[in-house]
Chain A
Amino acid sequence: MRTLATKAARLVVVILLLTMVSFLAQSLLPGDPAELIGFGADPEKIGEIRTELELDRPVPVRYLSWLTDFVTGDLGDYYRNKGGTPIEGVKTALPTSLLLMLYTQIAALAVAIPLGVLTAYRADSLFDKGANIAAFLALSVPGFVVAYLLKKYFALDNNVLPESGWVPLTENVGEHFKHAVLPVAALTLSQVAVYFRLLRSDMIATLQEDFITMARAKGLRPRRILFRHALRPSSLTLLTVAGLNVGTLISAAVLVEQIFKVPGMGFLLVEGVFSREYPATQSFIAIVGILFVLINYLVDFLYAVLDPRIRHA
């Protein structure tokens, strides 16, 4: 558990650095941020913005005051966007994004695990080779291409699924999942390929282990050996990569949310970029970064829970 404490300390440092980077970016903006934000407004309004951003004070002081606000959940106001504040946006967007990623991870693992286990068991079979080539191709197709293909085929050409938009789970469960299918499918494909390839090679190595031969010599059925004996030790690496892969997933989600108009963090972020809401955008970026770091910390924690070798070390 000592390692978890050191990791927690590291976590805090990384998050602080992260917020610092995303805040400092703002002060590196070319020209006067107030002028940029309030372009076209009267000088009085620009002056207001300047006071609010505390542009006359030194950067470290501004950072600390921003950080205090950020930690207490005060993300300030939008300068141009009418209706709602940044924090209200985050309150609905963050759960949406998290749900989207959760569905994606579940779907990806649900496909990748049986596929990886089966191909490892039948390594070098025709099925295995086919799955490998498919995975290689899937890794070469950017998420947005998959998204556009799905959108064109299922929504525009055949009208089976909604083209875009999002219905919260609490509002209408059926519609919620109908709207979730395409964005989740678009995000899932490359994740499946990543997990499948990893699990397959890991399982092949695990299946060579003595304890697998011993499990066979006990008279256990292949299915039990594969899923109860071989999958568990292999799933630990899978978990680590699943955590690290969240970064890629977040990047892909930003685009997919854009393509399917899912009001998640990515959507909020891009909206902020387009309407030049610099302060709000910096906060959104910090939130996404923190989310990523936290998920990885959670993975480390889960890892220690799942692996007795680490727990009892």
Chain B
Amino acid sequence: MPEPASSAARRKLGIGGWICAAWIGFLVLVSLVAPMLTAEPVTENGRVVEGCGTGEGLPLYDPLKCSDLDATREQRRTGQAVGEFKHLTGVDKSGGDVFSATVIGTRTTLIIAFSSIALAALLGGAMGLVSGYLGGKIDMIFSGLFDVMIAFPPLILALLIVNTYAAIPEDPKLAEEAINRRVPGIILALVVVATPILGRITRASTLTWAGREFVMAAKALGARPLRIMLREVLPNVVPALMSIALLAVGVVVVTESSLSLIGLGVPDGDTSWGTVIASGAADLRRYPHQVFVPSIAVILTICALNFLGDALRRKFDVRESAL
């Protein structure tokens, strides 16, 4: 045995697993709580004061009051602004705290990532289950569909869909409508990217379970296919699906940021990790922190998801080759 692992360590999550799970839990909490913590935008004569917070700063990290207008934009940018706390991670072009923006962006990023993977798991799971269990023509169609979809590099596929479904035209009348369609468009694109991956693993796992004795027994007792699929096969297929879905969430988080960098991400007015990174990347020389601070969140999240996915795969002995 090349990798001796005690059976106890294999059965439990281990300390690393709990840390990873805690990080994901923390992110969910942050995305729920963060909007409540945002400071009111500082206004003067009814207009947002530039350089005085964009309303996206947490009170903790954007402690400057309007009376501190003396604190110039430059001071805030370099983190030298006076106040109860410094901007530890620097500020963006318009004076917003980068850390705050990252915290705020968590919500949109997580909504996009988890909803797209949840939908893809439902869709891919159902297709894979039916395809693997029933076989025949349905299997041929679904497997063929997965093959073609996987033939597209993921980012290209996402780009194609967002560009088609939620391109923002110059015509202002059409633009408003398109902006509202952007986030659903991104989710749609990510669902299309993730569905064949999750569908394939479900199909492969279904094939191995569908031949087991207890499934035969259920068949012999006259249970209907739908019942067997949901009651006998599905519970056994879920671990494999889950472990790959965790990895897929990581892929989707990166793709979301990538779309922003290309200019097809979450539209202006909304903040995600991708938008923060993209606006920093536009002026890397002056705002590198704006790229790297949210990137750390991205890296930690992918680390945690990969670790949990690996642990789950080891536990249930899911083979990557089945992909």
B306 touches A140 (CB 8 A): yes
Residue of A nearest to B310 (CB): A136
Q: A39-B170, A248-B153 are in contact. List 19 more A-B contacts (CB 8 A).
A: A21-B152, A25-B160, A25-B161, A25-B164, A39-B169, A142-B295, A144-B257, A145-B295, A247-B153, A248-B154, A254-B155, A254-B156, A255-B258, A259-B281, A270-B262, A273-B263, A276-B169, A288-B153, A292-B153
A28 at the interface (CB under 8 A from B): yes
Residues in B whose Cβ lies below 8 Å from that of A14: 147-148, 151
A255→B4 CA distance, assembly (Å): 40
Among A69-77, A105-113, A147-155, the one that faces the other chain is: A147-155
If A18-B152, A248-B154, A292-B153 touch, whether A273 touches B262 (CB-CB below 8 Å) is: yes
A123→B292 CA distance, assembly (Å): 34
A28 touches B288 (CB 8 A): no
A29 at the interface (CB under 8 A from B): yes
B262 touches A254 (CB 8 A): yes
Q: Of B147, B161, B261, B299, which is in contact with the most chain A CB atoms at under 10 Å from its CB? A: B261
A and B contact pairs by CB, cutoff 8 A, 22 listed: A18-B151, A21-B152, A28-B165, A30-B177, A36-B169, A39-B169, A140-B306, A142-B257, A142-B258, A145-B292, A156-B288, A205-B2, A248-B154, A250-B153, A251-B156, A252-B155, A254-B258, A255-B155, A255-B258, A255-B261, A281-B163, A292-B153
A166→B159 CA distance, assembly (Å): 24
- In the complex, which residues 12-38 of chain A have their Cβ closer than 8 Å to any Cβ of chain B? 14, 17-18, 21-22, 25-26, 28-31, 35-36
A258 at the interface (CB under 8 A from B): yes
A226 to chain B, nearest CB (A): 15
B21 to chain A, nearest CB (A): 16
If A145-B298, A148-B291 touch, whether A270 touches B263 (CB-CB below 8 Å) is: yes
SS of A interface (majority): helix
Residues in B whose Cβ lies below 8 Å from that of A136: 303, 306-307
If A144-B257, A251-B153, A273-B264 touch, whether A285 touches B171 (CB-CB below 8 Å) is: no
If A17-B148, A248-B154 touch, whether A36 touches B167 (CB-CB below 8 Å) is: yes
Residue of A nearest to B155 (CB): A251
Interface residues of A (CB under 8 A from B): 14, 17-18, 21-22, 25-26, 28-31, 35-36, 39-40, 123-124, 136-137, 139-142, 144-145, 148-149, 151-152, 156, 201, 204-205, 208, 246-252, 254-255, 258-259, 269-270, 273-274, 276, 281-282, 285, 288-289, 292-293
A38 to chain B, nearest CB (A): 10
B264 touches A142 (CB 8 A): no
A249→B148 CA distance, assembly (Å): 18
- In the complex, which residues 137-185 of chain B have their Cβ closer than 8 Å to any Cβ of chain A? 147-148, 150-156, 159-161, 163-165, 167, 169-171, 174, 177-178, 181
Residues in B whose Cβ lies below 8 Å from that of A292: 151-153
Residue of A nearest to B280 (CB): A148
A250 touches B156 (CB 8 A): yes
A254→B4 CA distance, assembly (Å): 40
Residue of A nearest to B320 (CB): A198
Interface residue from B153, B160, B170, B250 paired with A40 (Cβ < 8 Å): B170
B2 touches A29 (CB 8 A): no
Residues in B whose Cβ lies below 8 Å from that of A282: 160
Residues in B whose Cβ lies below 8 Å from that of A201: 2
Interface residue from B151, B164, B291, B302 paired with A140 (Cβ < 8 Å): B302
A28 touches B262 (CB 8 A): no
B261 touches A258 (CB 8 A): yes
A144→B295 CA distance, assembly (Å): 9
A151→B288 CA distance, assembly (Å): 10
Interface residue from B2, B150, B160, B288 paired with A285 (Cβ < 8 Å): B160
If A28-B165, A29-B167, A144-B261 touch, whether A22 touches B153 (CB-CB below 8 Å) is: no
B32 at the interface (CB under 8 A from A): no
Residues in B whose Cβ lies below 8 Å from that of A26: 164
If A36-B169, A204-B2 touch, whether A145 touches B299 (CB-CB below 8 Å) is: yes
B284 at the interface (CB under 8 A from A): yes
Residues in A whose Cβ lies below 8 Å from that of B4: 124
